Structure 1
């Protein structure tokens, strides 16, 4: 039967600001031209009838007793959103939902946040919920934090909800202050998928989160005003370096310097200085590789393979790491040659085929 509405939301790629969002820091993502789409129709009962077109899988749930579905993980993004909306006091009824999309899944392009945002948009429209885009983003995050148990920050849902294609969205993850910054027309954002599994990312992500909290706890002893790594300056970190276990100090150094890079990047975008922006992307990758240790052999190969290409301004891993994708800043007229070169070089060194998407 015909749906009452079709709702979509984009995936995203983070240009710079990795592992900063759950430290109250700054991020600079941009939406990509790939979407998750949900078709929805109201029911008269409290059942959620869910169909994932791309998996040919059907599942049912009940709004009155929502619980984690361990066998079909895609279902939980819808259930978690429903739970978060109910907790906020919104009145919902059952719906038939059909999900499809072309955001690659499980590679760090936030297909999950796209699904959450599209689902929120559907519930909002069907049931007349008074919900602005910022609250919609927080509903998505609550789904991940409380329903799925992931300590993720707000970035992915924010850019899916508020982003505009062709612009970077600067987000202050503490104050929710955000601003759009146009990307130069002669430069394209190109994503390269290593096609390497990143299933370890979720557990390692939570470990990094705990290490950052540990750094805050120790630095706070001397600087009580610190509530998150976002509050720590480079001078404070140097002052406290000897008091921190080496690993914890290095984790903190990544976040502190990455926040600084995001603020610099925002200013560079406004000046149109994409060369310097690209240099900061390479710096970010080095920090993620050595201090935060979330890169992998295959991601390093992809980034290193761009170093001698004049048509590439910058490259770095994007997303949680351990696999997944790199993000590359490439001159528009070099995109075809870049795609050919990176595919060939990656195959030569790994015997694996990468996938290239122009954002």
Structure 2
């Protein structure tokens, strides 16, 4: 699959620019095993890069002119490096311009490039194709022009591009996972300090399966902003009650429960989820280290129930997908992945049973909602890299 993507991009580049690309880079999408909505709540996340990629063919253009071709969209964009770079009304271009804008500030060594790219990361499915695009471009320029950037620099440049040129105030997890990904490993990332550890993720007789609901409800952004306000209010009340508490990480379930009346039912539920989810990530790391996949699966189900009932960021379609596999003996765990209100469920499934499960759930889902399900069988992969034949 990877080889096929690389060959397609090479051929496409050659037909567009009448020469083979000097370099080929691969930048992966990501999953998050557990740790949802805690990146902005002082928690930890447990992401990993996956074997779905954006592949870039790149060569120096011989001038200050840059030509970008998005093969999948059949769109081309041209600009001059010497011009002032500003956001455009072509959204995919902004992810790239935002990165190059920062690189221009850091170095006078940049030269014009020709780029053609194609992707196997499904757009809008919560697998972070945007982070893969940003980090792939930063990584490629770093390699070609000797910019001396660290992996952390590349992740932060990707994040800032999204903040400044795209207008999405995203956390660091997506870019970090795309750059730092390691085969058969998940990353326990502290989103505050960017301290991280790798933990083995050899699921043995189990595999990870994503089921894309193919729905995206419009209240994702508004719901996200409201949740942030609610937990900020809740944390302020908890700090007042317990002078030792500075973040949700310093807080335990009993303390939240003791303040239930003062918090009020909605904010109590939000805070309870956050404190429980921070603990679930730590428990999930222990379960992985012990190869206790039944425990990991139970934690995934518990996270989904919290996201659905306490944090209220799920939706009918995703709840249906999780409930459809809840009592299946071949599924250890399932949960909503990402910001919510649509996207994918992530499932820990016994190897060899995936196709039967996909057929059954797809049929039930189509009967219920009239929507076709998209399944993705995935493996944990290494981060952004220069491709070598």
1:208 positional shift: 2.7
Q: Which residue of 2 aligns with 1:261?
A: 280
Q: Which residue of 2 aligns with 1:219?
A: 238
Q: Is 1:137 aligned with 2:155? A: yes
Q: Which residue of 2 aligns with 1:328?
A: 347
Q: Which residue of 2 aligns with 1:103?
A: 121
Q: Which residue of 1 aligns with 2:100?
A: 82
Q: Is 1:38 aligned with 2:70? A: no
Separation in 1 of the partners of 2:60 and 2:208?
39
Q: Structure 1 86/273 Cα, relative in aligned 2: closer, same or farther at 3 Å?
A: same
Conservation of the 8 A alpha-carbon contact between 2:187 and 2:196: no
Conservation of the 8 A alpha-carbon contact between 2:199 and 2:285: no
Q: Which residue of 2 aligns with 1:151?
A: 169
Separation in 2 of the partners of 1:149 and 1:76?
10
Q: Structure 1 145/207 Cα, relative in aligned 2: closer, same or farther at 3 Å?
A: farther
Q: Which residue of 2 aligns with 1:295?
A: 314
Q: Alpha carbon RMSD of aligned pairs, Å?
A: 2.1
1:65 pairs, out of 84, 90, 101, with 84
2:213 pairs, out of 176, 194, 200, with 194
Conservation of the 8 A alpha-carbon contact between 1:172 and 1:178: no
Q: TM-score with structure 2 length normalisation?
A: 0.85
2:73 pairs, out of 45, 55, 58, with 55
Question: Over residues 192-233 of structure 1, what are the superposed CA-to-partner deviations in whole Å (9 max), with x where a residue is unaligned?
Answer: 001113454234333333333333344333445655433433
Higher-Rg structure is: 2
SS in 2 for 1:214: helix
Q: Which residue of 2 aligns with 1:125?
A: 143
Question: Over residues 51-72 of structure 1, what are the superposed CA-to-partner deviations in whole Å (9 max), with x where a residue is unaligned?
Answer: 11100011234544222223x2
1:88 positional shift: 4.7
Q: Is 1:276 aligned with 2:302? A: no
Separation in 1 of the partners of 2:223 and 2:241?
29
1:286 positional shift: 0.6
SS in 2 for 1:212: helix
Higher alpha-carbon deviation: 44-53 or 181-190: 44-53
SS in 1 for 2:187: strand
SS in 2 for 1:195: strand
Question: Over residues 294-330 of structure 1, what are the superposed CA-to-partner deviations in whole Å (9 max), with x where a residue is unaligned?
Answer: 1111101100000121100000010111111000000
Q: Is 1:28 aligned with 2:24? A: no
1:4 pairs, out of 13, 22, 25, with 22
Q: Structure 1 23/224 Cα, relative in aligned 2: closer, same or farther at 3 Å?
A: same
1:29 positional shift: 1.8
SS in 1 for 2:46: strand
Conservation of the 8 A alpha-carbon contact between 1:37 and 1:115: no
Conservation of the 8 A alpha-carbon contact between 2:199 and 2:289: no
Separation in 1 of the partners of 2:348 and 2:327?
14
Q: Structure 1 243/151 Cα, relative in aligned 2: closer, same or farther at 3 Å?
A: farther
Higher alpha-carbon deviation: 110-119 or 142-151: 142-151
Unaligned 5+ residue runs, structure 2?
1-16, 379-389
Q: Structure 1 235/27 Cα, relative in aligned 2: closer, same or farther at 3 Å?
A: same
Higher alpha-carbon deviation: 3-12 or 198-207: 198-207
